Chain A
């Protein structure tokens, strides 16, 4: 029973990792990168 549970957990982990990797590789998925940047110039004289 314990072996079966371990095997099931391993399969589920492998499936989760595989789906995450395939999601990353899927073409056309839009990703946004960037971040907060300090504003130093407000365009005032």
Chain B
């Protein structure tokens, strides 16, 4: 089995590393347009991975294509992969690009090509946690996602832009626009991240979750940010982003009913975002190769995989899932 990983950034390199250790793939080709990134990746991965200095969407001779390239290059790569009928995994975290990729659903369906959209930390793990949280409830009414932290420089750029763009929130059968950086809410993430002020941001989670759970009346996504993040979001990024951010977190809150009683389920993960995104992406690629997916067309991870099994497999790869258990008492 051959895997083509497009993008030798923080996520792409780690995906290659994880696919190498999975024994599902015989050969990995890591492709990027930047010779510097390929040089660093090649030092990290050794001779087991073939590096290619090639345009992103060219010659995709592989059994699975992993698209982990920067924002703005993913759509073309996915188009090409679908036309060549290659099972595809797209990390995809930029809102506009995710919408454009989802518009290729018809082509993927016609060609019978499985395409997993949003396989990072959030969206990605957030979608699987939502599907898992749903098993605790009889009916879900609301889904609220929040995230903190960034992976590599490409992820940091998306994070930076997201706070100055319009955020979309699903509320009572329509999309409501919210100004990025507004709607402060203090949310508790798993330790060591803890409490963080979170704001509306142009995140793609609500779009993907709306596709997966059309019956839900409210879906929102917020992002942790500082005052500096919110102020500088409207300007170009003057300081180059870090190679990889520190520990981040996601928090998934589901509100619904069980036995006629209102229930809240809160799930979370604290991990380095690039590492978690790479684990989710690599595992999705393995699922595609083993044909362990529910659909042979375009879908989100929430519908494509069996959540309990997927999360259980991620736990074996050192990604720790947590649940918030609160005791309601009256003093």
Contacts and interface: CB of A to CB of B under 8 A. Distances in A.
B331 A42 contact: no
Q: How large is the interface on B (under 10, 10 to 19, 20 to 34, 35 or more residues)?
A: 20 to 34
A29 interface: yes
A42 B311 contact: yes
B315 interface: yes
A42 B328 contact: no
B175 interface: no
Given A24-B331, A36-B190, A42 B325 contact: no
A36 to B, nearest CB: 4
Contact of B326 (A29, A34, A39): A34
Q: Name the prevailing secondary structure of the A interface residues.
A: mixed
Interface in B74-89: none
Given A42-B132, A42-B309, A43-B308, A32 B322 contact: no
Interface residues of A, number: 20
Contact of A30 (B190, B312, B330): B330
B268 interface: yes
A39 B321 contact: yes
B191 interface: yes
Given A38-B320, A39-B322, A33 B315 contact: no
A27 B135 CA distance: 36
A44 to B, nearest CB: 5
Interface of A: 24-40, 42-44
